[in-house]
Structure 1
Amino acid sequence: MRDPSVKSYAPGYQIGKPIWGFAVVQVLKSEVESVKVGDYLRVAECPFQEYNVLPPEHPVTLIKEEEGVPLSLHVGILGMPGQTAFYGLEVVGKPAKGETIYVSSGASGVGSLVAQLSKAKGLKVIASAGSDDKVAFMKSIGVDVAFNYKTESVADVLVREGPIDIYWDNVGGPTLDAALGAFAPGGRVIVCGSMSDYNTKEAYGIKNTSQILFKRLRVEGFYWFLAGETYEGQKNKSERFMQAMVPLIKSRQLKWSEQVYNGVESVGEAIVAVQTGTATAKVVVKVDDI
């Protein structure tokens, strides 16, 4: 959430207009030959309202209905959060069997997928979150070392369980500092977010930057759509991602949970749950039945 006059990689919300996000929709009328009435689409930058009229150039992806794959997963594990986790690991992290990864915000929609994909590749997974309930959830999805960063020192846990080869950074700040001090040589930092700095007047100053040199670390931020373009070899395509993820979903090797809010009037409550960290699963707003 920010003033729309502040430029970023995505436009800000405007007061008095519907907020937008990723959505799964059903087509009621179409003047585009490749899109038929009754088709399901994943729509980027979709206004949260019951009906929308979209121009032909609006970014959409045709969804293929598959048994064992709920449509809602296309805004979660098969949507932007899943692609963020998958492409970030593959393009930036380049994990290898036997390595150790630390995931901050390990109970979040993205973090929990990073943890599970890493386990599937044979990595040791360390993950942190801010409540005991979230720690229990992380253990339930196979995290090897799950801890509450509010009651245990991140630095102490990483010294005890490390060294780490990959850090998936969702928070920045002191947690990033602690991770930089716990790396094995040649490690990779995947910068996905910086939650600790989003609502502060003065950003935290990283103190451990010398470790980037001493341990030959690579620190890289990424946007999911650009990483996806690199991995897939073209824009707005996700074939390789789907080929990798759908079998893991159908075989239940990947676990997921959803925190569903019903009705367009619940959008504000859903956003607060995400921004304050009180959500315990992927937040989904069910605007209407499809």
Structure 2
Amino acid sequence: MSPVTNGRVLFNAIPEDYPVPGTTTVYDTSETIDLENVPLNGGILIKVLILSVDPYMRGRLRAAEIESYLPAFPLGKPLVGGGIGVVLRSEAAGVEAGAHVRGLLAHQEYVIAPNLVALNLEIIERDPKLHWSVYIGAAGMPGETAFMGWREHSDAKKGEVAYISTGAGPVGSMVIQIAKQDGLKVIASAGSDEKVKFMKEIGADVAFNYKTTDVREVLAKEGPLDIFWDNVGGDQLDAAMEFAAKNARIIECGQISGYNNGPQPMKNPGLIFAKCLHLHGFLVAYLRPKHAAAFRAEFVPRLVSGEFKFTEDVTKGLEKVGDVILAVQKGTNTGKAVVVVAEE
């Protein structure tokens, strides 16, 4: 078999604000690979099927010398993110051709991994009722983030009031459903009327478009808040603190309002001690050892049964990754953003 093109999405230039498809990232077809004869040196040849595009990736599109909780993407190299692939060839013990793997995959068509551990990969099987894409969405990292962050930090009690920003997103929509299951009154916001409709469908008691409705008016009427799940930061965080109850819990999952134009300073940090607020920041990777078994036993079956609802925004073609990254940063995607690289 002659070599085939191994398309790649490369980090090409550091963006000043929003990433620019074709400039920040470029789709490159200069590399080829001989699938039958490329040396594996004891490793695994993987065909990439599906890639996840997530908000946190914007933080890795930065200069290497700027420190953060994840390293910057190296300029000139492929992006890396959550994905699912199928093993084409394997020289690694315990990994057979035809197995599916989930973990950190380069944004390219074919990947050679020295072993599973090197790329944080795991062999995964799916329930026939769920598509593979769900395992990088509701049954993957976003679902884990919602389930594990809520279980670890919410201290939820029946009858309390919770506010979830970005409530139509892959994390926020799961938090809405978990909070309702726990017996809470749920307020949720998103940036379009279509997303508001979805939030109501999955159980939000109060859902509103923050672009056309004053968040403070809603919280003044529907609060005070016992829990705020923050995916946005900025003014929404300030508003939630203003209308928080004493001893309210604020769960910091993300602050996308500051990812592209710089973080917004907190307007009134004195409310933290004045209201005895509890701020909890977390990264899901550190919660997995404690909560992974419960996630698989309690959460995933509710996705399979249809009890928990989710939406996906599926784009076909590796060359579209740059467009999807921009859509996620601007919030124009309408569900968990996934890119289908190839069919099996």
* TM bracket, shorter-chain basis: over 0.9
Moved more, 6-15 or 137-146: 6-15
What residue is the counterpart of 2:68 in the other structure?
A: 8
- 1:227 corresponds to: 287
* Contact 1:4–1:12 (CA under 8 A) maintained in structure 2: yes
TM-score (norm 2): 0.79
Using the alignment, how far apart are the partners of 2:227 and 2:94 within structure 1? 42
1:28 to 52, 67, 88: 88
Residue ranges of structure 2 left out of the alignment (5+ in a row) = 1-57
RMSD: 1.5
SS of aligned partner of 1:196:
helix
Partner of 1:154: 215
* Letter of the 1:195 counterpart: I
Is 2:337 the partner of 1:277?
no
Q: Which runs of structure 2 are paired with 1:61-72 in the superposition (5 Å)?
A: 61-72=122-133
State the partner residue of 2:157: 96
Task: Return the alpha-carbon distance in structure 1 between the equivalents of residues 158 and 94 of structure 2.
Answer: 42
Segments ≥4 residues shifted beyond 6 Å:
none
Question: How far does the alpha carbon of each residue in 1:74-128 deviate from its partner, in whole angstroms, 9 at most, with x for none?
Answer: 1101111111111110111122222211001111111111111111221111001
1-structure distance, mates of 2:249, 2:231 = 14
Secondary structure in 1 matching 2:101: strand
Q: Could you say which residue in structure 2 is the equivalent of 1:197?
A: 258
Q: Which of 251, 257, 260 matches 2:311? A: 257
How many angstroms apart in 1 are the aligned matches of 2:179 and 2:114? 39
SS in 1 for 2:112: coil
Name which of 74, 82, 86 aligns with 2:135.
74
Q: CA deviation at 1:137?
A: 1.5
Q: Deviations over 1:229-256 (max 9, x none)?
A: 3x23xxxxx3221111122112211111
Describe the superposition over 1:207-265 as per-residue Cα deviations: whole angstroms up to 9, x where unpaired: 23222212221001110111223x23xxxxx3221111122112211111111111111
2:139–2:303: 8 Å Cα contact kept in structure 1? no
Match of 1:49 among 85, 88, 108: 108
Alpha-carbon distance, 1:16 to partner: 2.4
Aligned in 2, Cα 1:32/1:240: closer, same or farther, shift over 3 Å?
farther
**Cα distance in 2 for residues equivalent to 1:224 and 1:255:** 21
Letter in 1 for 2:107: F
Partner AA of 1:17 in structure 2: K
After alignment, is 216-225 or 3-12 more displaced? Answer: 3-12
Alignment partner of 1:173 is 2:173: no
- Indicate if the aligned counterparts of 1:162 and 1:183 stay in contact, CA closer than 8 A: yes
Contact 1:167/1:189 (8 A) holds in 2: yes
8 Å CA contact retained: 1:92, 1:220: yes
Name the TM-score, length of structure 1 as normaliser.
0.93
Residue deviations 1:38-71 (CA, integer Å, cap 9, x gap): 1111112x11111110122321122122221221
Partner amino acid for 1:103?
I
Structure 1: runs of 5 or more not aligned? 233-237
| Letter of the structure 1 residue corresponding to residue 186 of structure 2 | V
The structure whose residues are more often strand, as a share, is 2
How many residues align? The count is 282
Mark the structure with the bigger radius of gyration: 2
Displacement after TM superposition at 1:169 (Å):
0.6
- The match for 2:171 is 110
Q: Percent identity?
A: 44
- Contact 1:4–1:11 at 8 Å: present in 2 too? no
Shift of the alpha carbon at 1:284?
0.6
**Does 2:237 match 1:183?**
no
**Separation in 2 of the partners of 1:196 and 1:24?**
29
Residue 31 of structure 1 aligns to which amino acid in structure 2? E
**Paired position in structure 1 for 2:54:** none
SS at match of 1:109: coil
CA distance in 1, matches of 2:189, 2:71: 31
Equivalent-residue separation in structure 2 for 1:18 and 1:61 (angstroms): 21
